[in-house]
Amino acid sequence: MDWSTYITDLSIPKAWKYNGYHHDVLPSWYVNGFIIYIDSHLKSERLINSKEWNGCATMDNLNPRFTVFSDNYASGNTLDIPEELLATDNFVEVLEFVSIKDMWKKENKYVCTITV
């Protein structure tokens, strides 16, 4: 399936920059220091992707459709592995989470300032 079909049921905000790379398992977008991976809305396609992503999956334990990672590259430390911050099937939850404008790591805890 073509990645362009993965978001036909969503309204991706204009501020999100497409960040996909041809070696990635899923398409991704970048906003506010976050990388958002979006899986297909079709469960049959998500099963294929879940198997590729973690090697083992069934229809009963699919990966969540949306996964948000920190963008450690933005900090200049390209050796850091991006950290998974949110995994959900709820797009509204993703929209709310990535609306955090300022985020920094302090003593291994994320401290956020939310702009309303």
Lowest mean pLDDT among 3-12, 18-27, 94-103: 94-103
Question: pLDDT, tens digit, for every residue of 44-84?
Answer: 888 888 877 777 667 777 889 999 988 765 555 656 667 78
Domain boundaries, the chain: 3-114
The two tokens of residue 52 are: 């590729």
Closest CA to 39 of 20, 58, 55: 20
| Reported pTM | 0.76
Instruction: Quote the CA–CA distance of 20 and 37 in Å, as a whole number.
Output: 9
pLDDT-based confidence at residue 36 (cuts at 50, 70, 90): very high
- DSSP assignment of 38-54 equals E--SSHHHHHHHHHHHH
Strand locations in the chain (E)? 17-18, 28-31, 34-38, 66-70, 84-88, 100-106, 109-114
